[in-house]
Amino acid sequence: MIAKEDEILQSYFGYSTFRPGQKETIQQILQQNNTLAVMPTGGGKSLCYQVPGMVLDGTALIISPLISLMKDQVDALQSLGIPATYINSSLTSEELKQRMQDIEARRYKFVYVAPERFESAFFINVVRRIPLSLIAFDEAHCISQWGHDFRPSYRSIIPNLRKLHSIPVLIALTATATGEVIQDIQELLQMDHVINTGFERSNLNFHVIKGKDKATYIRSFIKKHEKESGIIYAATRKQTDALYEQLDKRGIAVSKYHAGLSETERKRAQAAFIHDETTVMIATNAFGMGIDKSNVRYVIHYAMPMNIESYYQEAGRAGRDGEMSECVLLFSPQDIQLQKFLIEQSQMEEAAKQGEYRKLQAMINYCHTHSCLPTFILDYFSDNPSQEGCGRCSNCMERQEKSDITEEAQKILSCVKRMGERFGVGMTAKVLKGSKDKKISQFQLTSISTYGILSAYTEKELTEWIHFLIAEQLLATEEGKYPVLKLNQKSVEVLKGRRKVWMFTAPIPESETTDYHEDLFSALRSRRKEIADEKNVPPYVLFSDATLKELSRYFPV
Ligand code: ADP
Ligand code: MG
Ligand code: ZN
């Protein structure tokens, strides 16, 4: 006998098979077990409540923080012949009245509502009079203070739920949840069952690009991906405007989106992008939550975002159709200052700010790690990758050349120790360089034995190395806006010579490696190795691979 959920999948939604996690989730709901489903963006979370909503009697309430998305979802259901509607602040009072009457008359199988609706006694009074099949919490991470997009109104639903005569089965859905957030949602909504399909998106290629002119990079990237749709995320409205201007001037079909534009402008920009009238969308993080455009081929971050949760969610808007897509993060050291500034001047309470600084540190580590990038992200979410190293990210691509930097690492770590573990990255780099900066003499750091011990390197390189050591957890940071460097167990092992430190050469994106002379490149590379050995420095200190490739592109073999 064919199960009810399979029949509905085919007859209403026209799909032949469930995706990973869908069937398990649906079965839990049908057995009246409160369930949290964690699935990647595009994984098909909607179906997890839509199918049981069809099987069970009564009306399903779907709580969604995304007003922009409700209409799309409702339209989609209606086009399948399923009675659905939504209630949010965009309705006139007449419309609201009519819809509430229809809800009371039990006309709908699905009603989408904004979380604030539960604060309305009128609304509660209507829904307590009708049978409910289930209540779904979409984008459920918004309910947790540990989540990256906490909405207080979402949390206040919980006490208001008790005003219902009986609470139906609850289902929560999210694509971005750390262990902490999962636990929080479970406790708040009393969910014993968690279906977690993992976060892995095997069709995304991740790149971190450092030390390049961002605008030039973007122009050449867009040129190579001329006919493809892509999103470029900027950190601020100002950045968005400036970038838009630049690309627009060059005749690129580009839209922009940020909270400073009027609603009409935003709607127009969004529609143009979704309907492929423009190929590039430049936006702040105000754009995209819940936008279902399946053929986005790349997402570029013009600056480092505030945390890995946001990054993965934004980058994850690429390739929802399952086709290979690129996710590029353009990093510059100023990004760190900007994000710290944004956290500091936010309205958050002090404790919440400390949490944000901690998450920011993980993001900084992502930009400096030499491990496989998607593996790093999955580790962060305590998820396991299906294979060791993706082989396609910018770090995996540049694995051939490893340098032993144990000695330099020891010098850096002993400097941290000599400085009394009281200072941050910037000061430590200055001391290692032997900088004449006033602050250094103020703290009497010119007299310590590690002052100027790595003066052969630039302050920028030293900063980079310290960040690398932090990212590889060979050096710890104390939480806060100006994280103080601390030694940990691994640092001690390095200092005692029990642990070696390897560094890979600077990563380069695949797209830039296509048109150069392979032979010349490898000749330059071995010459570099010779010189490096003579000088007794790691090769990449002389020239990066990117520079060598650049050179081997212009000279005939
Ligand atoms: P999420 O909310 O997890 O990001 P959606 O629920 O919006 O994802 O679904 C993403 C896309 O996948 C939609 O276009 C949806 O129709 C499609 N989809 C969902 N489940 C299936 C399935 N079992 N078979 C085929 N396509 C599916
Ligand atoms: Mg969704
Ligand atoms: Zn990788």
CB 149 within 8 A of CB 66: no
Output the residue whose Cα is nearest ligand 1's atom 24.
15
Query: Rounded CA gap, 178 and 163, in Å?
Result: 31
Q: What is the whole-number distance in angstroms between the Cα of residue 267 and the centre of ligand 1?
A: 24
Other C-beta atoms closer than 10 Å to the C-beta of 1 total 5
Q: Above 60 in pLDDT, residue 476? A: yes
C-alpha Rg value of the chain to the nearest Å: 26
Q: What is the whole-number distance in angstroms between the Cα of residue 50 and the centre of ligand 2?
A: 12
Q: How far apart, in Å, do the first and last CA atoms of the chain sit?
A: 69
Task: Write out the DSSP string of 327-354.
Answer: EEEEE-THHHHHHHHHHHTSS--HHHHH
Residue range 192-236, pLDDT digits in tens: 899 988 788 888 999 999 988 999 999 999 999 989 999 999 999
Query: Rounded CA gap, 191 and 194, in Å?
Result: 7
| Shortest-distance atom of ligand 1 to CA 17 | 23
For residues 550 and 307, the model is more confident at 307
Average pLDDT (161-187) is 89
Name the closest ligand to CA 16: 1
List the shell of residues around ion ligand 2, using CB closer than 5 Å. Answer: 45
Residue range 119-160, pLDDT digits in tens: 999 999 999 999 999 999 999 999 987 766 788 888 889 889
Q: What is the whole-number distance in angstroms between the Cα of residue 69 and the centre of ligand 2?
A: 9
Structure tokens at 311: 């990054």
Q: What is the whole-number distance in angstroms between the Cα of residue 284 and the centre of ligand 3?
A: 27
Out of 136-140, 258-262, 536-540, which region has the weakest mean confidence (pLDDT)?
Answer: 536-540
Alpha carbon distances (Å) from 265 to 69, 233, 240, 259, 286: 17, 18, 14, 10, 13
The amino acid present at 25, given as its one-letter code, is T
The torsion angles phi and psi of 194, rounded to 5 degrees, stand at: -125, 125
Average pLDDT (5-33) is 93
Name the closest ligand to CA 37: 1
* Ligand 1: lining residues by beta carbon, under 6 Å: 15, 18-19, 22, 39, 41-47, 292
Query: Rounded CA gap, 95 and 141, in Å?
Result: 30
3-state class of 135 per DSSP? strand
Query: Rounded CA gap, 329 and 208, in Å?
Result: 5
Instruction: Report the percentage of the chain scoring pLDDT > 70.
Output: 93
Output the residue whose Cα is nearest ligand 1's atom 23.
18
Report pTM.
0.65
Output the residue whose Cα is nearest ligand 1's atom 25.
15
User: What is the reported pLDDT for 65?
Assistant: 85
Q: What is the whole-number distance in angstroms between the Cα of residue 370 and the centre of ligand 3?
A: 9
ipTM of the complex as predicted:
0.98
Which of 47, 291, 321 has the most ligand 1 atoms within 8 A of CB, as the residue to mutate? Answer: 47
Q: Which residues contact 159 (CB under 8 A, 6 or more apart)?
A: none
